[in-house]
Amino acid sequence: MAAVGYARVSTREQKLDGQTDVLKAAGCEKVFVEHASGVLAKRPALDDALEYLRAGDTLVVTKLDRLGRSVRNLKEVADSLEDQGVGLKALSQGIDTTTPGGRLFFHMLAAIAEFEHDLIVERTKDGLAAARARGRKGGGRVKMSATKIRQARTMYEEKTYTVQQIADTFGVSRATIYRHLGEDGGAR
């Protein structure tokens, strides 16, 4: 029954010392460290830590945000740990899933965060629907007018200009030119 620590900072400039000191003081026998953004799907040190853990062990982090990319991801990690018989402790939040009260607190926090996320999504959808009802359209601004598209097509059909040169002429990307010309260069 080992306490295993996981520390993460987002950039190379940030220091892990504060987290590792706290984890060692909390009795962690081994500490896995990572320099990676929390939004990255691949976090090798976390994968190594999860592989290292055995039933009865506890994964210890200083804060929950060091562990998960999102509430959903954090819940997936916690559920996976629970399935393996591994506990989770978040020191600064006082969460310890090895106790019934700690599990309750963790699940309440996760439920509240998920509820908040769902409300944000719902408000966003309502706002977009209201904007559409007023005739507004989402998406990026139109980069090329119909006249510019005709000029680009003429330049392309002359076979004197490369697609990159055409894109540079109109101040757009090659992808924009291709999108307006169609793959075969024909009208769209």
pLDDT at position 118 is: 87
pLDDT value for 39: 65
Q: What is the mean pLDDT for each group of 10 consecutive residues in the chain (188 residues)? A: 91 84 95 80 88 95 84 85 94 90 86 84 91 83 88 92 93 91 54
> Residue 93's pLDDT is what?
87
Residues catalogued as catalytic = 10
> What gap in Å lies between CA 71 and CA 93, rounded to an integer?
15
Q: Give the other-Cβ count within 10 Å of 32's Cβ.
A: 22
* Identity of residue 39: V
Counting beta carbons within 10 angstroms of the beta carbon of residue 101, is it exposed (0 to 12), middle (13 to 18) or buried (19 or more)?
A: exposed
Q: Where are the alpha helices (DSSP H) in 96-136?
A: 100-133
**38, 57 contact by CB (below 8 A):** no
Contact 35, 15 (CB under 8 A): no
Query: How much is the pTM?
Result: 0.61
